[in-house]
């Protein structure tokens, strides 16, 4: 597997990573001076429900008044990508939306499978949300892969590890599925777990479980694709302090989401939250053992970037085959609102997947 380093793609990716790291450094130096003033901040609402604009109903359910729009799947053969929903576990309300590039139906070779977990701080959004529907639709088309976007249970009704349980159940379901797209068109030796933001955290934690089980019930995973993964810790990093009031993931919002998604009573160095603290580094060795490749992407305008860089460093130290792709500027979740940024990301993912084939 080490020979992969010599692939031109990889040289390119590595060079990019180094170049971006360099830009990132310059970016930080420039910005730490100007942004420091802003970090003496608006106080957070002490009630995390109010902070996130959630309503806790008397019957124990939670209402999310700001719910963004959903999009239905469509098997319309005139579309570039066909999509459909399949139930995973009715009693939990979990399901997957599958995306199939139209052209692939007539292709002889089977396609890679990207199992995707959406973002939303473990609390918001759905595999049916329009932003993720469009993201996965375009990703299936550009990367030329089948995408399975997983609907998992949300916090605070279902705190972690419920989402990880659902993710692993989704993998078992995929392996056993008799669905004709999965059965006939997917190469089960070419499977990637991917997620953005909280979904990146889920891909990581479910990946560790899958690596530990590594049994025949789960498809053979080749790698993890962690797009701006959502992690935290008890101590704030430099980028979190510098970008404390950042409008997309400022610390009031960030803190409230962890408060309502982690198991009650644990702190933020818990293994679900901080992969570099306590048991984290030892758990990570599993990825080295199973030999997966990992792609971590991030950007300089995301308060989480220092943690993501730290994670890449720790993985390298542990001998995990990891590619860090960091760009200057931008903000957390930019690929969900900027189609051009999403397109660039699909290119990075396609390069990553094809270099392993």
Ligand X SMILES: *[C@@H]1O[C@H](CO)[C@@H](O)[C@H](O)[C@H]1NC(C)=O
Q: Could you list the residues that contact ligand X (CB under 6 A)?
A: 57, 59, 61, 89, 91-92
Q: What single string gives the DSSP state of each residue in 321-334?
A: EEEEEEESS--TTG
Distance of closest approach, residue 147 Cβ to ligand X, in angstroms = 22
- The yes-or-no answer on residue 197 being catalytic is yes
**From 126, 129, 197, 232, active-site residue:** 197
- The yes-or-no answer on residue 302 being catalytic is yes
Residue 75 or 157: the one with the smaller Cβ distance to ligand X is 157
Distance of closest approach, residue 123 Cβ to ligand X, in angstroms = 17
- Helix/strand/coil for 84: strand
**From 166, 302, 330, 336, active-site residue:** 302
Residue 64 or 92: the one with the smaller Cβ distance to ligand X is 92
- The yes-or-no answer on residue 306 being catalytic is no
CA distances from 235 to 83, 205, 264, 299 (A): 42, 21, 19, 20
Q: Are 207 and 287 in contact (CB under 8 A)?
A: yes
Q: How far apart are the first and last CA of the chain?
A: 11
Q: Tokens for 194?
A: 């991917």
Residue 59 or 78: the one with the smaller Cβ distance to ligand X is 59
In whole angstroms, give the CA distance from residue 69 to residue 187.
Answer: 33
Residue 87 or 354: the one with the smaller Cβ distance to ligand X is 87
Write the CB contacts of 179 (distance below 8 Å, at least 6 apart in sequence): 86, 98
CA distances from 317 to 185, 200, 306 (A): 37, 21, 16
Neighbours of 148 (CB within 10 A): 30
Residue 59 or 184: the one with the smaller Cβ distance to ligand X is 59
The residues carrying an active-site annotation are 197, 302, 332
């Amino acid at each position: 597997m080490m020979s992969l380093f010599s692939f031109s793609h990889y040289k390119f990716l590595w060079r990019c990573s180094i170049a971006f790291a360099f830009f990132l450094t310059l970016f930080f130096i420039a910005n730490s001076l100007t942004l420091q003033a802003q970090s003496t901040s608006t106080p957070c609402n002490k009630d995390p429900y109010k902070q996130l604009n959630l309503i806790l109903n008397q019957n124990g359910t939670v209402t999310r008044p700001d719910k963004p729009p959903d999009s239905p799947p469509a098997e319309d053969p005139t579309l570039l990508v066909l999509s459909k929903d399949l139930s995973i576990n009715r009693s939990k309300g979990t399901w997957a939306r599958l995306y199939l590039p139209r052209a692939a139906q007539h292709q002889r070779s089977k396609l890679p499978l990207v199992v995707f977990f959406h973002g939303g701080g473990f609390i918001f959004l759905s595999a049916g949300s329009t932003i993720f529907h469009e993201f996965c639709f375009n990703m299936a088309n550009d990367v030329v892969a089948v995408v399975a976007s997983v609907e998992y249970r949300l916090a605070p009704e279902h705190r972690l590890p419920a989402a990880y349980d659902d993710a692993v159940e989704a993998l078992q379901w995929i392996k056993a599925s008799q669905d004709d797209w999965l059965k006939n068109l997917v190469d089960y030796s070419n499977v990637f777990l991917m997620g953005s933001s909280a979904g990146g955290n889920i891909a990581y934690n479910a990946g560790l479980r899958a690596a530990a089980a590594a049994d025949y019930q789960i498809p053979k995973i080749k790698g993890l694709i962690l797009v701006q993964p959502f992690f935290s810790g008890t101590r704030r990093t430099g980028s979190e302090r510098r970008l404390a009031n950042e409008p997309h993931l400022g610390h009031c919002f960030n803190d409230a989401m962890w408060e309502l998604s982690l198991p009650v009573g644990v702190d933020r160095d818990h293994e679900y939250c901080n992969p570099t603290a306590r048991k984290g580094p030892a758990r990570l060795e599993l990825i080295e053992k199973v030999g997966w490749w990992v792609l971590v992407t991030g950007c300089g305008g995301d308060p989480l970037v220092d943690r993501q860089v730290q994670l890449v460093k720790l993985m390298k130290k542990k001998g995990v085959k990891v590619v860090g792709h960091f760009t200057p500027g931008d903000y957390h979740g930019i690929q969900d609102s900027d189609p051009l940024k999403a397109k660039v990301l699909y290119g990075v993912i396609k390069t990553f997947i094809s270099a392993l084939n």
